[in-house]
Amino acid sequence: MGEKLRLYGFNNLTKALSFNIYDVCYAKTPREQRDYIAYIDEQYNSERLTGILTNLTDMIGAKILNIAKQDYEPQGASVTILIAESSMIPAGETQLAHLDKSHVTVHTYPEYHPETSLATFRVDIDVATCGEITPLSTLDYLIGSFDSDIITMDYRVRGFTRDVGGRKLFMDHRVASIQDYISEDILHAYDAVDMNVYAANLFHTRMMRKDIDLQNYLFKTDVYELPPKIRLEITNNISREMIEIFSGQNIY
């Protein structure tokens, strides 16, 4: 598949990337927890999320057809962008028609529980493209756009297209692992595991940050204000929270 495929008609394979991140924070008092949610709502409001998705759309060479965005009360935001990756001129006509069966969406979910002193910010991004382009090339940008402690990614290819000889093609690019599309510098900071179903063109990768620099997880608190025993306790609680989210189950 290294050479450009000669297709009959246009490429109508659907390539979908689900990109999900969690950011964990320690906020001791109810006031700090509320302030953290307010901070996240301000930092990742619909306006900034629209900017992130607009840059992503530019990166994959798509054209924006429509943008819908919404901030929610008491918290959270959503953005949906309808995109066209390419265009074609139907035989015998001069009218330009866009293939607009593609979209990019983002939803945010800030939350906290008063008994754990831990607040979690979740971001769900879905990119669905129909054509030659693939959203996998945007992973470094997406990871860098958020404070990503835990990342889960799903990539799937659906449908089929045909070559000029009529042979069906269910995949038009080689994918062994989602990790192949992430830079070495980023991968070095995470533990990562794959669960792939190659026969079904399904690819899944989970990543969890290796090292916990406690100061990065404290909200409005300096790490040196805390006694060593408390610092260790908070670090362990954050580590447990991350492991359970990464594993998708209650372990402790």
* Residue written as token pair 């929270």: 241
Choosing from 25, 46, 102, 145, the catalytic residue is: 102
Rounded to a whole number of angstroms, the CA Rg of the chain reads 21
Distance CA 47, CA 160 (A): 36
> What is the 3-state composition of the chain as percent helix, strand, coil, each rounded to the nearest 5?
30, 35, 35
Check whether 246 has a pLDDT greater than 70.
yes
Residue 138 DSSP symbol: G
Q: Is 130 a catalytic residue?
A: yes
C-beta atoms surrounding 161 within 10 Å: 20
What DSSP string describes 174-239? --S-GGGGS-HHHHHTEEEEE--BGGGTEEEEEEEES---GGGGBSS--GGGS-HHHHHHHHHHHH
Which pair of tokens denotes residue 66?
């429509």
Residue pLDDT, tens place only, 47-97: 999 999 999 999 888 888 899 999 988 788 999 998 876 544 333 333 333
Active-site residue, 25 included: no
Strand runs (DSSP E) across 117-189, as ranges?
A: 118-130, 150-158, 161-162, 168-169
* pLDDT attached to residue 7: 58
Contact 27, 219 (CB under 8 A): yes
Whole-number average pLDDT of the chain? 86
Of the listed 25, 46, 103, 130, which one is catalytic? 130
Active site residue 107: yes
- 184-236, pLDDT tens digit by residue? 999 999 999 999 999 999 999 999 999 999 999 998 889 999 999 999 999 99
Catalytic hit among 25, 46, 103, 107: 107
pTM to 2 decimal places: 0.84
